[in-house]
């Protein structure tokens, strides 16, 4: 299976609609400014050392009501705030402030398509010392149109990466730190150069961790299985969503545990999940078919349920969606 044409054709093609940057706003240095005016110095420490923390949030366009449904915004900002303590980046903004800024930016940008929302906490100033303490931090936010990040329909052909996931004692994967994405970039680049769509990381110990920028689930004997939170993964919000929906809506338990590499080849079904990846079926791992080599039945049910939930169509999960009239 191949990536969507948008992704294959280059890094600027992630969106399904043009990003009219000259008309868009960003939140930068405490103000809403035209996107093209939000610029950092080449001496910025986050640029030099990767000292930033970020989130990726999705807003789903609901054409019938001309609304954007932002999925689990509070949980994303709570994760950012939790990580900010570890990296001495706690902003002068509360959870409510961060949510309000996001809603306001969306209202100003008036999107009419599915969108990606990218908040970043970053080190600023001009110090050349790669330290975290006593270096000022700031918060910025931008949005852009975003369609499918991976092919959701046909299924992905992925490999186990030769690169190992960054261990918690090196750069914690659960922090979503900018610099850690060099690890992701190595795995994705090599996987694609070898003709795969994406990659699965193992931990330094050789057990299964996660995808390049998404969490991983297997289906075995009717149960969902996913690497536990101590397997150098990002504690994904979509992962949590799947565990909840599996249990509440489908009566399927998720086992969170250590997974051996060879279990990947024995799985009945497999899929990636994440804000970007959404629910992406995996049909081949290291050239071996997963199950019968087509997207699995349970994967499809979860995918359908997920899209109803994120578009705020199921009343019992409306509390996960912040609906913005644009
Ligand atoms: C490394 C990594 N793992 C997992 C995920 C999935 O996390 P979430 O569901 O919170 O988007 C992401 C981000 O999308 C990621 O970058």
Predicted confidence band of residue 20 (pLDDT cuts 50, 70, 90):
low
Q: What is the pLDDT of residues 61-95, one digit of tens each?
A: 999 999 999 999 999 999 999 999 999 999 999 99
| Mean pLDDT across 183-191 | 98
Residue nearest atom 5 in ligand 1 by C-alpha distance = 214
**CA of 276 relative to ligand 1 center, distance in Å:** 8
Find out whether the beta carbon of 210 lies less than 6 Å from any atom of ligand 1. yes
Task: Give the nearest ligand 1 atom to 238 CA.
Answer: 9
pLDDT digit string, tens, across residues 30-72: 999 999 999 999 999 999 999 999 999 999 999 999 999 999 9
Q: Is the CB of 227 under 6 A from ligand 1?
A: no
CA of 236 to the centre of ligand 1 (A): 5
Instruction: Report the atom number in ligand 1 closest to the C-alpha of 76.
Output: 10
Query: Is the predicted pLDDT of residue 1 greater than 90, yes or no?
Result: no
Distance 215 CA to ligand 1 centre (A): 6
pLDDT at site 22: 65
**What is the pLDDT, as a whole number, of residue 14?**
53
Residue to mutate (ligand 1; options 53, 165, 208, 214; most atoms within 8 A of CB): 214
Distance 127 CA to ligand 1 centre (A): 30
pLDDT of 21 reads: 65
Q: Ligand 1 centre from 126 Cα, in Å? A: 30
Q: What is the pLDDT of residues 108-151, one digit of tens each?
A: 999 999 999 999 999 999 999 999 999 999 999 999 998 776 67
Looking from the CA of residue 277, the nearest atom of ligand 1 is: 14
Tell me which architecture the domain covering 17-145 has in CATH. 2-Layer Sandwich (3.30)
pLDDT tens readout for residues 246-296: 999 999 999 999 999 999 999 999 999 999 999 999 999 999 999 999 999
Positions marked active-site: 176
| 3 state SS for the chain | CCCCHHHHCCHHHCCCCCCCHHHCEEEECCEEEEHHHCCCCCCCHHHHHCCEEECCEEEEEECCCCEEEEECHHHHHHHHHHHHHHCCCCCCCCHHHHHHHHHHHHHHHCCCCCEEEEEEEEECCCCCCCCCCCCCEEEEEEEEECCCCCCCCCCEEEEEEEEECCCCCCCCHHHCEHHHHHHHHHHHHHHHHCCCCEEEEECCCCCEEEECCCEEEEEECCEEEEECCCCCCCCCHHHHHHHHHHHHHHCCCEEEECCCHHHHHHCCEEEEEECCCEEEEEEEECCEECCCCCCCHHHHHHHHHHHHHHCCCCHHHHHHEEEEEC
Q: Which residues pair with 255 in a beta bridge?
A: 225
Is pLDDT at 3 greater than 60 in this prediction?
no
How far apart are the C-alpha atoms of 225 and 174, rounded to whole Å?
19
User: Homologous superfamily of 156-310 in CATH?
Assistant: D-amino Acid Aminotransferase, subunit A, domain 2 (3.20.10.10)
Give the per-residue pLDDT at 7: 36
Residue 56, ligand 1, Cβ within 6 A: yes
pLDDT tens track for 205-235: 999 999 999 999 999 999 999 999 999 999 9
pTM for this model (two decimals): 0.93
Lowest mean pLDDT across 102-106, 153-157, 208-212, 220-224: 153-157
Using CA atoms, how far apart are residues 206 and 35, in angstroms rounded to an integer?
A: 43
Would you list the domain boundaries of the chain?
Answer: 17-145, 156-310
Q: Which atom of ligand 1 is nearest to the CA of 210?
A: 3
Nearest CA residue ID for atom 1, ligand 1: 213
């Amino acid at each position: 299976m191949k990536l969507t044409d948008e992704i294959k054709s280059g890094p600027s093609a992630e969106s399904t609609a043009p990003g009219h940057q000259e008309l868009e706003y960003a939140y930068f240095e405490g103000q809403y400014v035209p996107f093209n005016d939000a610029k950092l110095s080449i001496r910025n420490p986050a640029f030099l050392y990767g000292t930033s923390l970020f989130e990726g949030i999705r807003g789903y366009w609901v054409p019938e009501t001309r609304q954007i449904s932002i999925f689990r915004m509070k949980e994303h900002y709570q994760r950012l705030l939790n990580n900010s303590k570890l990296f001495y980046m706690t902003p002068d903004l509360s959870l409510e402030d961060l949510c309000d800024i996001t809603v306001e930016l969306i209202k100003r940008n008036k999107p009419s398509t599915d969108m990606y929302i990218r908040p970043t906490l970053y080190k600023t100033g001009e110090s050349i010392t790669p330290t975290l303490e006593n270096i000022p931090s700031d918060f910025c936010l931008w949005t852009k149109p975003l369609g499918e990040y991976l092919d959701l329909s046909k299924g992905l052909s992925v490999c186990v990466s030769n690169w190992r996931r960054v261990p918690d004692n090196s750069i914690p994967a659960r922090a979503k730190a900018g610099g850690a994405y060099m690890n992701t970039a190595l795995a994705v680049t090599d996987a694609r150069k070898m003709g795969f769509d994406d990659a699965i990381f193992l931990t330094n110990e050789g057990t299964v961790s996660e995808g390049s920028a998404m969490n991983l689930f297997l289906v075995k004997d009717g149960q969902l299985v996913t690497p536990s939170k101590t397997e150098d993964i990002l504690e994904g919000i979509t992962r949590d969503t799947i565990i909840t929906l599996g249990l509440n809506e489908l009566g399927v338990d998720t086992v969170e545990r250590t997974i051996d590499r060879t279990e990947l080849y024995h799985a009945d079904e497999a899929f990636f999940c994440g804000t970007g990846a959404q629910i992406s079926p995996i049909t081949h791992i290291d050239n071996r078919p997963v199950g019968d080599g087509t997207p699995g039945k349970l994967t499809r049910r979860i995918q359908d349920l997920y899209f109803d939930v994120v578009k705020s169509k199921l009343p019992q999960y409306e509390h996960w969606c912040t609906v913005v009239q644009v």
